[in-house]
Amino acid sequence: MLDLKQIRKDSAAVQAKLNLRSGSYDLQPILDLDGQQRNLETERSQLQARSNEIGKLVGQTIKGGGDPKGPEVAALKTEGNEVKQKLGELEPRERELKVQINDLLLRLPNLPGDSAPEGENEEDNVEVSRWGDENKPTGEKLLPHWELGEKLGIFNFERSTKIAQSRFVTLLGAGAALERALISFMLDRQIAAGYTEVIPPYLVNSDSLTATGQLPKFAEDGFKCADDDLWLTPTAEVPLVNLYRDEIIDVDQLPIAHCAHTPCFRREAGSYGRDTRGLIRLHQFNKVELVKVVSPDTSEEEHEKLVRNAEEILEALKLPYRKVELCTGDLGFGAAKCYDLEVWLPSADTYREISSCSNCNDFQARRGNIRCKVPGKKGTQFVHTLNGSGLAVGRTMAAVLENYQQANGSVKIPEVLQPYMGGKEVI
């Protein structure tokens, strides 16, 4: 959430930043409502002061010998009742204006960071680096992962449609084992890097989704329970950040670093017709998520470390990838700065996103009221939150299958995964 005081103080600068994003955002409705609310607040304060003054005057009049039932006291009481009636009318109007302002603020995205490259869409993203070009497989008959998987009998889409609907997959035999191996490997690596593993609830409430920015803007992309205020989690980022909602953390406890494996559930409402085959865009998928809660002073440094932690998984698996910094027009809703890691998929002859590593600055912390206290200093400040996939497991499996396929139709298992698969070397 953006700071209303910042919008009020320098609306032109905030609007200019929002204009760098895709979409159209107008601060004027917020400023208009804020002006109305502040006028009501001033009027209410004046009426409250007069109400207090009348109470004192009644007491002073009676104490000075005035008749408690006389006209002077009666006139003061009449005025006092009128003031209270006006106050009773103003307070709900003021509350309603605050609700309207808050709702508009919740629909505004984060401001792009000063270092984010300017651009309109993904075509303007900036490639930072590449790794593993020498590992790219060559050959004329490289199959897409869905064909490989079906020929090897390790996953099935057709029967999954019978069980659920399209864009679900059932993993079988070595496919299930490979998925489990990837999850265990990723968690082990991130725990060794200093992250504390968490197994959070897989159902989250609306307040949690609002804090991290999925609600209200992306409600259509979620799966909501019919009888409860609970949603299937779209990413472990949601429960991990919300572990600290409405809390004040001693700055000495920062940075907090968590990793978690969860199934994730998304309707992919805005992507119909895209990636309809394979493991790239499913309604249910596994992911190992990295989340950090950090001091604003170390935010940029911790972000770079998080990105590196995700890169190291790809390098250990010897999967070719590139790192891209997103331009202002392609930034996610809550991100001020973001790097995408894109893995090489030979069948498509292109790189595909496998991890987005975002620095949200204080955007989520302000929505979730997560603050830190610096010993010896007055007041508190909002923390910064960082998140990134470490990695999306299904997309990693797709990359492993395609990059490690052999001419005879088998798939070599990456060396680092073999211990997790009982020493098995080939599928």
State both tokens at 393.
Answer: 């497991």
Q: CA separation (Å) from 422 to 176, 177, 315?
A: 13, 10, 22
Taking CB atoms within 8 Å and a gap of at least 24, the contacts of 79-84 are: 79/54, 80/51, 80/54, 80/55, 83/47, 83/50, 83/51, 83/54, 84/51
Is 356 annotated as catalytic? Answer: yes
Q: How far apart are CA 79 and CA 128, in angstroms?
A: 70
Do residues 357 and 388 touch, judged by C-beta distance below 8 A? yes
The residues, any chain, with a CB within 8 Å of residue 113's CB and separated by 6 or more, are: 336, 337, 359, 361
CA 242 to chain centre: 11
Q: Which of 356, 358, 367, 402 is catalytic?
A: 356
Is 281 annotated as catalytic? Answer: yes
The phi, psi pair for 310, rounded to 5°, reads: -70, -40
Q: Which of 21, 266, 366, 371 is catalytic?
A: 266
413, with CB counted inside 10 A (0-12, 13-18, 19+), is buried
Q: Assign residue 7 a region (left: φ > 0; alpha: ψ between -120 and 50; beta: otherwise).
A: alpha
Q: Which of 21, 167, 189, 395 is catalytic?
A: 395
Is 395 annotated as catalytic? Answer: yes
Report the length, in residues, of the chain.
Answer: 427
Q: Which of 267, 281, 308, 322 is catalytic?
A: 281
Q: How far apart are CA 235 and CA 209, in angstroms?
A: 10
> Strands 350-359 and 384-392: what pairing?
antiparallel
Q: Which of 82, 271, 353, 410 is catalytic?
A: 353
Compute, in degrees rounded to 10, the torsion defined by CA atoms 295, 300, 302, 305: 180
Catalytic residue numbers, as ranges: 266, 281, 353, 356, 395
